[in-house]
Structure 1
Amino acid sequence: MGKSAELIALEEKYGAHNYHPLPVVLEKGEGIYVWDIDGKKYFDFLSAYSAVNQGHCHPRIIKALKDQAEKLTLTSRAFYNAELGKYEKFITELFGFDKVLPMNTGAEAVETALKIARKWGYEKKEIPAGEAIIVVCKDNFHGRTTTIISFSNDEDARKNFNPYTSGFEAVEYNDVEALKQLFADKADKICGFLVEPIQGEAGVNVPSEGYLKACEELCKQHNVLFIADEIQTGIARTGKMLAIDHENIDADVLILGKAVSGGAYPVSAVLANDEVMNVIKPGQHGSTYGGNPLAAAVAMEALQVVLDEKLADNSEKLGQIFRAEITKMAEEFPLFKSVRGKGLLNAILINDTPESETAWNFCVAMKDNGLLAKPTHGNIIRFAPPLVMNEEQLNECLAIIRKTAEEFQK
C-alpha cells in the first residue's frame, strides 16, 4: 500500500464519513499550487471553497499569524485584547458599517445574523412575540447547523435531522415576483431576507441582473433586513470586493467568512449598523474564540493583502478570459454544456444527468493532469482558483481542461 492509500485508509477508519474527497492527499501549498505527499504539483481550482483567495500560505498572512501566535492567542472576551479593536475599526471602515460581531466559522456567522435579525424584528419592528419570519431562497446553502438545515431543500442536508427549527419561509431564487407576493402577504411579520448573491454550493447560480437590487428595494419598502451571505462570494472572489457591489447594494446585515483570513485560521464576521447591531447586549450572544487576537491580526493582514494586490480587479479580468475560453470549448466538446459565473467563481455544466459519475470522473482525470476541482450537485464542476493567479497560469489551466476533455472524448 502506498503512502497516499495508507493516509486515506486512516481517514476512512477513524474519521466520520461526512465527506467524499477526491483521491489526492495534499501536504504543501504555495500561492495557486498544492503538492501531494509524493511531491506531485497541482493547480488548485477550488481554493478551499474560496477561503484561500489570497493563495496558499501567503507570506504576509503567515508572518502575521506567527508574530501574533508568539505573543497572545486567546483571552476570551472576558477581557479586552490589544488586536480586536484595531481589527473592528479596520473591517467596519472597509465595508462601511458601524459595528462588527466577530465569530469563527461561516455557519456561526449565519446563526449570529439570524439571531440579530429576530431580535431586531421583535424589539425594533415590534413583531408579535414568537412570530418573526426570515425569508430564504430555495437551493440555498448557508451551513450545516440544525437551524440552517431546517430551511434547506437539499435532502442530503436535511433528511433525518428533524425536528426542524420553524420561522423560515422559502421563495424561488431569482424570482422577484415570488418575494413581492410573500412580502405583500406577510411583511408585518418578516424581519429578514437572507440571500447568497450567487448560490455557490447550488452550482454557481448567478441571478439575473437587477434581481438583487429589486430585492433590496422590496426590503426597504417593507422594513425588512436585507441579509447578504457573502461567505463564499465576498473578499474579491466575483470581481468586486463584495458580490453585491456589482449592483451597488447596501445590505443591512453582511455575513463574511472563508477568505477573511486567507485560509490561515477560522475567522467570520457579521456587520451591521448601530440601529440593528445594538439590539445585542452583554450575555446575549458570544463565542469563546470569537474576536481572539490571533484571528484579528490574521484577518487584518489577509484583507490588506486583497487590497494591496488588487485581487478584485485580477479576478474580474481572469474570470472574463476563463468564461470566454470555456464557452469556445463548449462549442467544440459535447461533454461541456455551458459555463456560468462572475469573476473567478465559475462552474462548467457537464452534459449528463446529476446522477451520473461523469463530472466526478472528469475531475479525477483533471487531477491526473495536474488540476484539482470538485463537482457539486452531480453534473456541475466548480472552478475557483486563488485570486493571485496570473493570465499565463490561467492559460496553462485552460490547456489542462482542454487536454482532459480531448482524452475524455476518446
Structure 2
Amino acid sequence: MAGSHLSPQAFQLLEEDSEYYLHQSLSTPCLNVIEKSYGIYLEDIDGRKYMDFHGNSVHQVGYGNEYVIKAVKEQLDVLPFSPRRYTNRTAIQLAKKLVELALGNLNKVLLAPGGTSAVSMALKLARKATGKFKIMSMWDSFHGASLDAISVGGEAIFRNGMGPLLPGTLHVLPYNSYRSFFGDGHASHEKGLDYLEYVLEREMDVGAIILEPIRCTDVQVPPKEYHQRLRRICDSHGILLIYDEIPTALGRTGKMFAFENYEVVPDIVLLGKGLGGGVFPLAAMVAREDLDVTGDIALGHFTHEKSSIGCAAALATLQYIEDYGLLERANSLGEYMKSRLLEMQKQYELIGDVRGIGLLYGVELVLDRKTKVKAISEAERIMYKCMEKGLSFKVSQGNVLTLAPPITITDQELEEAMNILKACF
C-alpha cells in the first residue's frame, strides 16, 4: 500500500472521467483509477494493490490468465474477426465444448456479446417455442440493464422511472423473502412455491420462468428441494425453466454449472461474464435440442456473434478450469473461507448471517440479530477500511458483504484476505 489517499493525478483523471461520461448509478462517478490487473489483484495509478473479491464476476480464472492471453494472441494473428455470414473452427469448438459440459439434452448453443443479450435471446426463444408471451421472474433479481432485461429483473434501481416495461412480465417473491412472509424453517420455501403455483393456475399464458439458481448479489442459496420442486412445477404446467447463471457458472459454486448442485437440468441456461476469461466479453445460451425452432426468425443476429477472439478466450478458460482443477479448488478454499467467516460471526454481533457455496459468500451485517435491522453505514465503513488495507469487494442490498475471489487465489492469499476482513471488524 502506498497510503490511503488518492494522488492529485488520480483526482484529475477521476474528474475527467466524470466530465466526459454520462453519470449513472453504480458506475459513474468512479471510485479510483486502475492501472493494472493481474492474478487476483487490481493495481491503481498510485501503485496500491487490491485483492479483488468482486471483479464483476468475470475473474474465475484470474486476471491476465496465461491460457487465455496466449489463445487470444494466437487467434489475433490468424482470424481477428469473423463476419456473421460465416462460421469458424473456434466457434464450432466452443459450441461442442459447452454441449459436452452441459447435462441432459442441452445440446444447442447461441452466442452473444454480453449477458444481457443472452437474456434477450432466451425471452424471445421462450415466446417462439411455447407460443406464450408471459414470463415469470423474481422481485430483486438482476438479469441485465436493457429494457427487456429490466422488465423481468426485479431491482428498483434499474426499473424505476422507466415508464411502461415489457408486457407480460410477472413477478413473485424471491426465495430469500419467503421467511419474512411465511416464517422460519423448511416450510417457508414450500409455502412460497405454493404461491407460485397459485399464480400459474391463474395466469394461463406463461411460457417460462427465469431466475438465478443461486443469487450472486447478496448470495442466496436455496436448498436442493426448492429447485427440484420448481422443476416439477414447470413440467406440470408446461413452462420452460430458464436459469440465469451469467455470474455464477464456470466453477464459482464448485460446479461447472450452478444447477448441478441441485440435481436438476433447466430447459435453457445462460452463461456470460467469466466465459471470456476476464479478457473478452462473451455470453452463451445453451438450450434443449428440441427448442431449435427459430429458423424463420433472428434471435440474436449480433455483429460479434461467433467472435473468433471471444471463442478462443472461452475455450482457453474452460480448458484452464479443467486442467488446474478449479472446481475442486473452489470447494476446498470455500470451506476454509466459510470456517473463518463463521468464526467471525461468533466473535462479532454485527454479523447476522453467513451464507454461501463454493467461493461465493455473503456476510450480512445487522444492528440486532433479532430484529435484523440492516447495518448499512457499518457495512460501508468496513468496505472502505478493507480497501485501505488492500481488499476490495462489493456491498449488496446495503448490508451484505459479497465475497467472490478468483478461483485461482492461493491458500496464503485467501488467509491474508480473511485476516484483513477480521481486522476491519
Structures share fold, TM-score greater than 0.5: yes
Among 23, 26, 29, the residue aligned to 2:31: 23
Say if 2:421 is the partner of 1:401.
yes
- 1:173 Cα deviation after fit: 1.9
- 1:283 Cα deviation after fit: 4.0
Say if 2:389 is the partner of 1:369.
yes
Q: Which residue of 1 aligns with 2:75?
A: 68
Q: Which residue of 2 aligns with 1:213?
A: 228
Q: Which residue of 2 aligns with 1:2?
A: 8
Q: Aligned AA for 2:339?
A: A
Among 188, 195, 218, the residue aligned to 1:178: 195
Q: Aligned AA for 1:140?
A: S
Say if 2:93 is the partner of 1:93.
no
- 1:19 Cα deviation after fit: 4.3
Contact 1:179/1:215 (<8 A) preserved = no
Q: Distance in 1 between matches of 2:23 and 2:422?
A: 33
- 1:293 Cα deviation after fit: 0.9
Deviation by residue 1:237-288 (Cα, 9 ceiling, x = unmatched) = 0111111101111110010001111111000000112211333435453111
Say if 2:42 is the partner of 1:34.
yes
Contact 1:360/1:374 (<8 A) preserved = no
Among 175, 196, 199, the residue aligned to 2:215: 199
Q: Secondary structure at the match of 2:202?
A: helix
Contact 1:49/1:384 (<8 A) preserved = no
CA 1:153–1:102 in 2, change beyond 3 Å: closer, same or farther? Answer: closer
Q: Distance in 2 between matches of 1:396 and 1:137?
A: 37
Percent identity over paired residues: 29
CA 1:320–1:160 in 2, change beyond 3 Å: closer, same or farther? Answer: same
Q: Which residue of 1 aligns with 2:163?
A: 162
Q: Distance in 1 between matches of 2:348 and 2:235?
A: 46
Q: How many residues align?
A: 394
Contact 1:204/1:340 (<8 A) preserved = yes
CA 1:247–1:283 in 2, change beyond 3 Å: closer, same or farther? Answer: closer
Q: Distance in 2 between matches of 1:282 and 1:72?
A: 28
Q: Aligned AA for 1:14?
A: Y
CA 1:283–1:395 in 2, change beyond 3 Å: closer, same or farther? Answer: closer
Give unmatched runs, 5+ long, in structure 2.
1-6, 176-191, 368-372
1:33-182 correspondence to structure 2 within 5 Å: 33-46=41-54, 48-96=55-103, 97-122=106-131, 127=132, 132-174=133-175, 175-182=192-199
Q: Which residue of 2 aligns with 1:323?
A: 338
Q: Distance in 2 between matches of 1:209 and 1:254?
A: 18
1:349-368 correspondence to structure 2 within 5 Å: 349-352=364-367, 356-368=376-388
- 1:227 Cα deviation after fit: 0.5
Q: Which residue of 2 aligns with 1:308?
A: 323
Deviation by residue 1:358-395 (Cα, 9 ceiling, x = unmatched) = 22221111011111112112111111000011222211
Among 237, 240, 254, the residue aligned to 2:252: 237
Q: Distance in 1 between matches of 2:388 and 2:152?
A: 38
Contact 1:116/1:280 (<8 A) preserved = no
Say if 2:17 is the partner of 1:11.
yes
Runs of 4+ aligned residues of structure 1 deviating over 6 Å after TM superposition are none
CA 1:194–1:85 in 2, change beyond 3 Å: closer, same or farther? Answer: same
Give unmatched runs, 5+ long, in structure 1.
406-410
Q: Distance in 2 between matches of 1:111 and 1:284?
A: 8
CA 1:345–1:280 in 2, change beyond 3 Å: closer, same or farther? Answer: farther
Contact 1:354/1:377 (<8 A) preserved = no
Q: Secondary structure at the match of 1:215?
A: helix
Among 191, 198, 206, the residue aligned to 1:190: 206
Q: Secondary structure at the match of 1:210?
A: helix
Among 375, 378, 383, the residue aligned to 2:403: 383
Q: Which residue of 2 aligns with 1:408?
A: none
Moved more, 229-238 or 14-23: 14-23
- 1:356 Cα deviation after fit: 3.5
CA 1:69–1:19 in 2, change beyond 3 Å: closer, same or farther? Answer: farther
- 1:41 Cα deviation after fit: 1.7
Q: Distance in 1 between matches of 2:346 and 2:53?
A: 22
Indicate the RMSD between aligned Cα atoms, in angstroms.
Answer: 1.7
Contact 1:238/1:316 (<8 A) preserved = yes
TM-score normalised according to structure 1 size = 0.92
Deviation by residue 1:25-69 (Cα, 9 ceiling, x = unmatched) = 2211221122111222221111x2221100011011011111112
TM-score normalised according to structure 2 size = 0.88
Q: Distance in 2 between matches of 1:64 and 1:194?
A: 33
CA 1:224–1:283 in 2, change beyond 3 Å: closer, same or farther? Answer: closer
Contact 2:252/2:359 (<8 A) preserved = yes
Q: Distance in 1 between matches of 2:75 and 2:226?
A: 43
Q: Aligned AA for 1:63?
A: K
Deviation by residue 1:103-130 (Cα, 9 ceiling, x = unmatched) = 01110001110000010011xxxx4xxx
1:242-257 correspondence to structure 2 within 5 Å: 242-257=257-272
Q: Aligned AA for 1:402?
A: K
Among 268, 292, 311, the residue aligned to 1:277: 292
